[in-house]
Amino acid sequence: MPFETYVRLLVICTVTGSTALGAQAEQHRTLTGDVTDERGTPVAGAQVTIAGTLLGTQTDVIGRFRITGVADSTVTVRAMRIGFRPTSVTAERGVASVTIKLQSVPLNLDQVVVTGTAGGTQRRAVGNAIASIEASKVVETGVVSDVAQLLNGRAPGVVVHSGSGAAGSGSSIKIRGRGSIALSSDPIVYVDGIRIESTVGVGTSNDANRGARGDIVGRMSDINPDDIENVEVIKGPAAATLYGTEASNGVILITTKRGRSGATALDVTTRQGVAWERDIENRWPTSYAKDPKTGLIVTQNLAQTEAARGTPLFNTGRVQGYALGLSGASGAAYRYYLSADHDRDEGAKVGNFANRNSARASLTLTPQPSLQITGNVLLSNGGTVAPGGNELPAYPTSRPLEQDSIGRGTRERIPPEITRATWDAYTDYDRYTGGLTLNHSPTDWFTQRITMGRDVTHDNSENIFYRLAPDLARFYSATAAGGSKFVRARDVTFNTFDYGATFKHGLRDGLASETSVGGQFYSKQYVIATRYGQTFPVPSVTAIDATTNQSTTDDVIENRTAGAYVQEQLGLRDRAFLTAAVRMDKNSAFGRSFHAVVYPKFSATWVISEEPFWHLGAVNALKLRAAWGASGRQPDAYAALRAYSPILSPNGTPAVTPQFIGNQNLKPERGEEMELGFDASMLANRMNFEFTYYDKRTRDALIQRDVAPSSGYSSGSGILGGLQWVNGGSLQNRGIEAMVNGKLIERPGLEWNSTFSMSTNSNKVISLPPGVDFIAVDYLQNRFQPGYPAAAYFRKHIVSAQLDPNGRAINVMCDDGKGGSVTCDKASPVFRGRADPNVEGAFTNSVRVFGRLSLQAVVDFKQGNRLWNVNRWARCVFDLACEENVSPQKFDPRLIAEYQLGGGVDYIWNTIEDASYVKLREVSATYTLPDRFARRLGAHGAQISIAGRNLHTWTKYTGLDPEGAVLSHHNLQEEDNTVPPLTQLITTFKLTF
């Protein structure tokens, strides 16, 4: 549906609703009030609603609210806020003001969460674990620049891989492990009910082997965290059934800010800070070489020698941001939120920076108590610039014998400033996301919702190597000095239409029923064009059309999903709930012989602590829950279709040749998950516990198998011509998720809250198609092999060796995989370790002093995963620049043998290192200035904070940083010449007028 239709519908509903509102104005009143906590402190951002209607608003910064159009009769006013128990008060006829006091509780079973049905569901009735993050509070006190940083360490079971530290780079997210063999494991993302493009790995690289190196960006970085109110994470198939095909990897639901009640409020925020590579001179490896003339060993630490000569490899980048937020309301008739921001973050590499400009508008109209219309529009643009690309200024190795030469010992014999001057990488984007949601509740027992919208992104990436003048050309080959340019342009469009309705009715005393039905239509389209040209005529020309060797590609990828669901929920005395649902989906990527897929769901919850027989006083609340459900992942677009490519016949006439064989029986991967858990609060509601055990299985996993040349679809007929998509594998992910938080100290003038979260993941491949022993992951040689973790490292393992008098390895034997040894030429690779962590978590402490000063520290950790240290492999195997290479007798002969045999990847055993770490992720201090100081600035409130990020890392990993890795195929990582994550120190100042 075109966006113009949305606007017309919004105008019609507004006019109709305003007429009805005017006709009944004499029967209504304006209700005002205050919301405080038990100590009388104002509670800002609380949701205040009138029971039985859609009338509602949010409290302002001093806890006040104002709702117009309230019926002049006895009504129930309800206030809710995360971290507090929902409270209702009665406003009798003629009463114009009420006061609502909320009691703070760690466990809030009455919180409404998004589940896919109209109106949402109270947490007490939800049988699966849902992580909820109050983003507005996190952003206010921490250093958060994108959604991935917001999630990191705050949602058990959600693993964030930060990747490169270059400005503008993106992060990958996995929820409950790696759930696919051939497809991405990324979750899908919704903003205000609209499906959005959230691809990670859109960069400037044209490296066919690695797909994306240090220049990856993520489209979720386009969203300004300052505009987010909260984020909910639906973690797996048991929870994602109502989201259908594509949702088995989880769903991230982002809700942006709305207007708040009271007078118009203007927030002005500025942030200023710095970013740098912490202690890089001591983290940088030392290279070794033996002088052939003297026999002496010469060393060089390139970071130290460059810093000593006044040309450090990295500088200190400036971080800055400016934001305006305008919000207000006219009672319940309408509320609005407008924002605009500009962010510019500089990296530690000279010339690297990222810009983001965005503007957002949200308007909520309530023309009638039973009708609410919300429109959201987001406009965003920006880009990144990386002179010399996003790789390191010089590979973390050097040539010590050449440190006095013109190349200063750099591996490429090219000084870093020359690299920056000869080529650049650019990425820029423009984005529009717009949506309209209508909530209609004509009766107490019926609620319906329509959401429709569109997300449109255009991004353009360029990688240009300039034609060089003679003074620069001497550093490069003649071909490279001629220059080249690679351009990738994408136009991505997502369309969403979602309808849901919920019917509530009582069956008998204490037994209530909620029946929900709904349907969705999603479509996405990728239009991708690439151009490449080589050899410019003169240095001043950079157009591809001017090059002498050109190539182009053009592709359109489309996918559509239509689905419908029905769900029945029975509630007994608002304490025990049974839920059953079924969903049916049809996707355009399914084979013609496979028509539709059905996903069921069952869950049960019991708030046992509210039963009359419960007398365990130490446990104030206890909810038991269980859930089982299914969801899926559709194949790649066109994977099921048989295709032919155009060619010219020998006589010059048009013809076709086989390209893709297709598979008419192709069906989606199917994820099925069972989870059990409980939520509890104890010790007078001072402590809160959440625990979940999950068991997720992926069946009918999609893989690519070779096609017999006799079929005509040989490997020479196209990139995937010799491959066919088939269903034929299964994986399992098991684990636990636990979180405990509580108030360690609560007294006048001092509060201390602490949270510890942890999750585990045991991942393994269960089966592959008959005759397939394992599936190797491209050049990395990682494997999907039954009985082992997904994408596990497999390499030959040298178990014994000796050194001859010249330091050469002899009598080298390898592990035969059966407890013995065999000569290495006959050995097979053996299991080396997991690619993903099996334990992750975080420890957060926050202290509030006298209600004005807030202190917070976050420590997070990941354990059990290994990472290929390509930097060390290149230094020790190819460059022969490690101490082991010049003084082999000082080291284990097995290690020396590995380095001497490791020209390929077969023997890289020791360079696949334990990448476990504990990181001091964030430390912040936020101070709310006294009102008298704010008034001197003409403001109602003022706040200042200082925060640091990535302050220290404890790890055994010998590379620059266990997080400093790039994404490769299958979302695998490797530390390969990539700028590691930066340390940041940022001060934020906020004024509210």
> According to the per-residue pLDDT averaged within each range, which of 123-132, 205-214, 811-820 is highest?
811-820
Query: How far is residue 782's CA from residue 566's CA, in Å, rounded to a whole number?
Result: 42
The percent of residues in the chain predicted with pLDDT above 90, rounded, is 48
DSSP string, 871-916: HHHIIIIIS--SHHHH-GGGS-HHHHHHHHHTTSSTT--TTEEE--
Q: Which of 275, 167, 285 is nearest to 960 (CA)?
A: 285
Lowest model confidence (mean pLDDT) among 8-12, 45-49, 305-309, 352-356: 8-12
Residue with tokens 């994550």: 981
DSSP 610: G
Q: Is the pLDDT of residue 803 over 90?
A: yes
Alpha-carbon gap, residue 150 to 823, rounded angstroms = 50
pLDDT at 15 over 90: no
The whole-number average pLDDT for the span 472-491 is: 92
d(CA 599, CA 603): 14
> Closest Cα to residue 530, out of 490, 487, 492?
487
pLDDT of residue 711: 60
Q: How far apart are CA 277 and CA 950, in angstroms?
A: 10
Amino acid 201: pLDDT: 57
Out of 101-110, 125-134, 909-918, the most confident range is: 909-918
Q: Residue 511: which pLDDT band, with cuts at 50, 70 and 90?
A: very high
- Residues sharing a CB contact under 8 Å with residue 718, sequence separation 6 or more, in sequence order: 645, 659, 660
What is the rounded distance in angstroms from the CA atom of residue 599 to the CA atom of residue 672? 9
Nearest Cα to Cα of residue 909 among 803, 814, 804: 814
pLDDT at 268 over 90: yes
Q: What is the identity of the amino acid at 968?
A: S
- Pick the closest to residue 499 from 548, 550, 562, 582 (CA basis): 562
Q: Which two tokens mark 94?
A: 């003629």
What value does the mean pLDDT take over residues 294-316? 94
Mapping DSSP onto H, E and C, the string for 622-683 reads: EEEEEEEEEEEECCCCCCCCCEEEEEECCCCCEEEEEEECCCCCCCCEEEEEEEEEEEEEEC
According to the model, what pLDDT value does residue 736 have? 96
Tokens of 462: 């360029």
pLDDT one-digit tens code per residue, 346-359: 999 888 999 999 99
| Separation CA 928–CA 977 (nearest Å) | 43
pLDDT digits (tens, 9 = 90+) for 27-68: 678 888 888 877 666 787 788 888 878 788 878 766 788 888
8 A C-beta contact, residue 277 and residue 980: yes
Specify whether the CB–CB gap between 98 and 123 falls below 8 A: no
Tell me the average pLDDT across 869-891: 92
Residue 204 has pLDDT above 70, yes or no: no
Alpha-carbon distance of 427 to 544, in angstroms, equals 17
Among 6-20, 429-443, 453-467, 936-950, whose mean pLDDT is lowest?
6-20
HEC secondary structure over 398-458: ECHHHCCCCCCCECCCCCHHHHHHHEEEEEEEEEEEEEEEEEEEEECCEEEEEEEEEEEEE
For residues 330 and 333, give the distance between their C-alpha atoms in angstroms, rounded to a whole number: 6
Outline where 902-974 has alpha helix (H). 931-936
Would you say 343 and 332 are in contact if contact means Cβ atoms under 8 Å apart?
no
- The mean pLDDT value for 286-308 works out to 95
When pLDDT is cut at 50, 70 and 90, the band that residue 722 belongs to is low
| Dist CA 738 CA 730 (whole Å) | 27
Using alpha carbons, select from 538, 529, 197, 583 the residue that is nearest to residue 378: 197
The pLDDT, as a whole number, for residue 238 is 82
CA distances from 668 to 205, 565, 595, 678, 699 (A): 30, 18, 11, 32, 9
As a whole number of angstroms, the distance between CA 317 and CA 485 comes to: 28
pLDDT band for 635, please (50, 70, 90 cuts): confident
Residue 14's H or E segment, with its range, is: helix 3-23
**pLDDT at residue 717 tops 80:** no
Centre a 10 Å sphere on the Cβ of residue 61 and count the other Cβ atoms it contains: 15
Give the phi and the psi of residue 283 in degrees, each rounded to 5.
-85, -25
Are the CB atoms for 168 and 354 separated by under 8 Å? yes
- In percent, the amount of the chain with pLDDT more than 70 equals 89
CB-CB contact of 775 with 783 (8 Å): yes
Asked whether the predicted pLDDT for residue 9 surpasses 80, the reply is no
Q: For 608, phi and psi rounded to 5 degrees? A: -70, -25
Dist CA 509 CA 512 (whole Å): 8
The predicted-structure confidence for 777-795, as pLDDT tens digits, reads as follows 866 678 999 999 999 999 9
- Measured between its terminal Cα atoms, the distance across the chain in Å is 39
- What is the SS3 assignment for 395? coil
Overall average pLDDT of the 135-142 stretch: 79
Residue 850's alpha-carbon distances to 613, 746, 797, 927, in angstroms, are 41, 11, 60, 10
Phi, psi (degrees; rounded to nearest 5) at 970: 60, 30
pLDDT tops 60 at residue 828 = yes
For residue 212, pLDDT beyond 60: no
Mean pLDDT of the chain: 86
| Least confident interval from 5-9, 611-615, 734-738 | 5-9
What does the pLDDT read at residue 710? Answer: 60
Residue 4 has pLDDT above 50, yes or no: no
How much is the average pLDDT of 745-772?
92
Stretch 144-165: mean pLDDT: 84
As given in the structure block, the two tokens for residue 888 are 């082999």
**What is the radius of gyration, based on Cα positions, of the chain?**
30
pLDDT digits (tens, 9 = 90+) for 100-117: 988 766 566 767 777 777
User: Exposed, middle or buried by CB within 10 Å (0-12, 13-18, 19+), for 640?
Assistant: buried
Q: Which helix (H) or strand (E) holds 223?
A: none
Q: How far apart are the C-alpha atoms of 24 and 655, rounded to whole Å?
A: 72
Distance CA 10, CA 14 (A): 6
| Pairing state between β 973-975 and 866-869 | parallel
In 239-286, the DSSP E strands lie at 251-256, 265-276
Has residue 723 got a pLDDT over 80?
no
Distances (CA, A) of 15 to 8, 23, 460, 846: 11, 12, 42, 48
Buried b (16+ CB within 10 A) or exposed e, 330-359: bbbbbbbbbbbbebbbbbbbbebbbbbebb
